[in-house]
Amino acid sequence: MKKNVTIKDVALAANVSIATVSRVINQNSSVNPEIKQRVLDAISMLNYYPNSAARSLKTHNTRTIAYLVSNISDYFFTTVGKGIEDVIKKYDYNLMLCNNANSEEVELAYIKLLQEKKVDGIILNTTGKNNELIAEISKDLPIVLSNRQVNHPDFRGDFIDFDNISGIYELTSHLISLGHRKIGIINGAIYLSTFRERFEGFAKAMKTIGVIVDNDYIYNYNGDGFSTFIDGYDGANYLMNLEEKPTAIVMTNSELAFGALKYFKSNNIRIPEDVSIVSFGDIVNRDILYVQPTITYTNLMGIGNKIGELMIERIEKNNQIINREIRFTTQIDYGNSTRKI
Amino acid sequence: MKKNVTIKDVALAANVSIATVSRVINQNSSVNPEIKQRVLDAISMLNYYPNSAARSLKTHNTRTIAYLVSNISDYFFTTVGKGIEDVIKKYDYNLMLCNNANSEEVELAYIKLLQEKKVDGIILNTTGKNNELIAEISKDLPIVLSNRQVNHPDFRGDFIDFDNISGIYELTSHLISLGHRKIGIINGAIYLSTFRERFEGFAKAMKTIGVIVDNDYIYNYNGDGFSTFIDGYDGANYLMNLEEKPTAIVMTNSELAFGALKYFKSNNIRIPEDVSIVSFGDIVNRDILYVQPTITYTNLMGIGNKIGELMIERIEKNNQIINREIRFTTQIDYGNSTRKI
DNA sequence: CTGTTAGCGCTTTCAA
DNA sequence: TTGAAAGCGCTAACAG
């Protein structure tokens, strides 16, 4: 049975009013040192913790920021989450990590829940399926979008992402410079801004060698955005069974790359002898994979830090900030997954 | 600026009392269908969400369970977390995932915070350094320990873990059956129950071939429990530079294995030609590593589900349950990392 | 510097 | 079945 020690008990024990106790807890107005010590003693003696529900009810803030992501097991999000936490902790905010599992319904339920919890802000890696609602609540609640844009004229908030176009452009250009011409792409669902942009970067690079990449491009495989691992596997399967196989493939994220690698390994397709590959984004434990894909990397903690700063600012300015967009540029980290042809 | 729609606004709009609105929200007592509809309409029109701080203040529960883990980027914890969530969602509880980063101080701060937030229960993968405090609060607050024991007579709560002893025993026995005698172990900090037990399982298996394994055992490397990846690397380095090298090594978790593999690969030590290895616990993307370690595996979602059930029961029974201990047995999944000698 | 008090938004008796 | 009203634990005027 929870016996709740309240501010009253402390006041009683210290023989002061509850207002005084409140003052020593919040350290803003000055209290007689001697009395303050008495209160402090009472607090530790009674093992008192202020009830944050009561506090929130009064102050209208919870000092809690939510980070709602599409896959809580993804190294990217958890690492970015650590970066966010580092910053917001300094301002005495806490992070609540939630998983929408790429589900429109779960995202909806969470948004509702987070509104009830009256979190002070939401950092959102959205499913891309609740744009209307998100735009609506963004008027009142600070929102920072992580990696996926909300396409709605009324949306208010910040957006942070990689520079997807230039990242993929460089990866693809690298393949081109090695002599590749028949280059495949395994991509995620293009209703998501990330994947749309990555596709664009690919098309832009291919255009430099006169290849038109559009929806009919034969070497294009599109996943549905739910299980990118399986999409990667299926995409590799599709591309490597074409009449005329590609000599190189661009994967637009690490999960896709994992799935594709699984396919290649299972089917004894050698990298880079049979096909060269490159992949967008950091890969955990890349050094001990059977092949080291050439990738783009970015400072993930740095992304998290930046997100944290944007959010804190937005909260402190009462959401009265025009929409901002931050792009992190990527660097190529060469592995052993490509060859000259 | 947040304009907060409250129960009062809804009552006004629907032309009923706030008590009636409360009744339709909580769906327990009966309300005239017509009035109910009026209230429902007002709720959706005003886009009203009940304030959970106010609700908590009144009901003394938050319908929130915290999962405080030592590394939020660890696949094990996030997957178990999903399993927990699946169960508790059914009972209308939410999960709050927090990271103590293996730090005694951060753990302390979180425990304090979670008390303030008045979470309904804490699922804890403890640092092992705050046993006294945890035992103290466990009297009032439901606690389920995930993978790390709290050694204190006053602790009340449940404990769930692998059957560490038999898991390592079997892995080690496998090496023995292949003819290995000089077998090394790379282990985590033994003030943690998990690693203590795994060491015990190892010693037990070695005893069957007459080898006494104690603290002076030459082929034993102990990490500090903070960065198991680096410990894995250092441990491999230590063992492979001994006068008389081991022919096989047992790693007691996957992070240790990753670090060791990194060492082996960097130093051109071949697996299993130069040394055989086995590792405790599931490994993500094992299929595409440069070698597939023989491991133990377990149904991680199942562990999460069980933790969720234990917690829900404990909450509903007001923490009036004697301490329970659940052990998940592991299965060996053979890779290509061992050889006969 | 300290105490009294109103009220945050909700649930839940108690009366009607 | 519905409404009035008390009170959850806290903060912040306001008064002294």
Of residues B160, B127, B124, B154, the one with CA closest to residue B140: B154
Give the number of C-alpha atoms closer than 13 A to the C-alpha of residue B157, restricted to the C-beta side: 30
pLDDT (0 to 100) of residue B1: 41
Residues of B in contact with A140 (CB under 8 A): 1-3
Does the pLDDT at position B31 exceed 90? no
A287 and B262 within 8 Å at the Cβ level: the answer is yes
pLDDT (0 to 100) of residue A1: 41
Instruction: Express each pLDDT in A138-180 by its tens digit.
Output: 998 999 999 999 999 999 999 999 999 999 999 999 999 999 9
Instruction: Express each pLDDT in A85-100 by its tens digit.
Output: 999 999 999 999 999 8
For residue A175 the two structure tokens come to 């393949």
For residue A103 the two structure tokens come to 């589900």
Residues B149, B315: contact at Cβ < 8 Å?
no
Testing the interface with B: which of A73, A141, A268, A321 to mutate, by most B Cβ within 10 A?
A: A73
Residues of A in contact with B72 (CB under 8 A): 78, 81-82, 97
What's the farthest any 2 CA atoms get from each other in chain B? 87
Does the pLDDT at position A275 exceed 80? yes
Residues of B in contact with A53 (CB under 8 A): 52-54, 56-57, 62, 117-118
Q: How far is the CA of B5 from the C1' of D1 (A)?
A: 26
Residues A265, A294: contact at Cβ < 8 Å?
no
Strand C close to B208 by CB, under 7 A: no
Residues of A in contact with B112 (CB under 8 A): 49
Q: Is A80 helix (H, G, I), strand (E, B) or coil?
A: helix
A50 and B116 within 8 Å at the Cβ level: the answer is yes
* Burial tier of A119 (Cβ tally within 10 Å: 0-12, 13-18, 19+): buried
Please report which helix (H) or strand (E) contains residue A68, including its range: strand A64-69
Instruction: Share the mean pLDDT of chain A.
Output: 94
Sheet holding A276-279, edge to edge: A220-222, A183-187, A248-251, A276-279, A294-297, A331-333
Strand C close to B7 by CB, under 7 A: yes
Residues of B in contact with A115 (CB under 8 A): 49
- For D6, nearest residue by CA–C1' is B58
- Nucleotide nearest B7 (Cα, C1'): C9
Does the pLDDT at position B3 exceed 70? no
B140 and A1 within 8 Å at the Cβ level: the answer is yes
CB pairs under 8 A between A and B: 119
Q: How many CB atoms lie within 10 A of CB A265?
A: 17
Handedness of CA B152, B154, B155, B157 (dihedral sign): positive
Does the pLDDT at position B138 exceed 80? yes
Section B32-58 average pLDDT: 92
How far apart are the CA of A168 and the nearest CA of chain B, in angstroms? 23
In the 46-75 segment of chain B, residues within 7 Å (Cβ) of strand D are: 54, 57-58, 60
Does the pLDDT at position A33 exceed 50? yes
Strand D close to A59 by CB, under 7 A: yes
Instruction: Share the mean pLDDT of chain B.
Output: 94
Sheet holding B276-279, edge to edge: B220-222, B183-187, B248-251, B276-279, B294-297, B331-333
Does the pLDDT at position A57 exceed 50? yes
Instruction: Express each pLDDT in B174-201 by its tens digit.
Output: 999 999 999 999 999 999 999 999 999 9
Q: How far is the CA of B317 from the C1' of C5 (A)?
A: 39
Strand D close to A2 by CB, under 7 A: no
Q: Which candidate from B57, B81, B284 shows the least CB-CB separation from A57?
A: B57
CA distance B250 to B213: 13
For residue B103 the two structure tokens come to 């730090």
Alpha helices per DSSP H over A162-253: 164-177, 193-207, 228-239
Give the model's confidence band at A3: pLDDT under 50 very low, under 70 low, under 90 confident, else very high: low
Strand D close to B321 by CB, under 7 A: no
Q: Which amino acid is at B31?
A: V
Instruction: Express each pLDDT in A214-262 by its tens digit.
Output: 988 999 999 987 778 999 999 999 999 999 999 999 999 999 999 999 9
Residues B225, B104: contact at Cβ < 8 Å?
no
Strand D close to B29 by CB, under 7 A: yes
CA distance A63 to B94: 18
Q: Which candidate from A72, A136, A140 shows the least CB-CB separation from B82?
A: A72
The residue in chain B having the minimum alpha-carbon distance to the alpha carbon of residue A71 is B78
Q: How far is the CA of B60 from the C1' of D7 (A)?
A: 13
Does the pLDDT at position A2 exceed 80? no
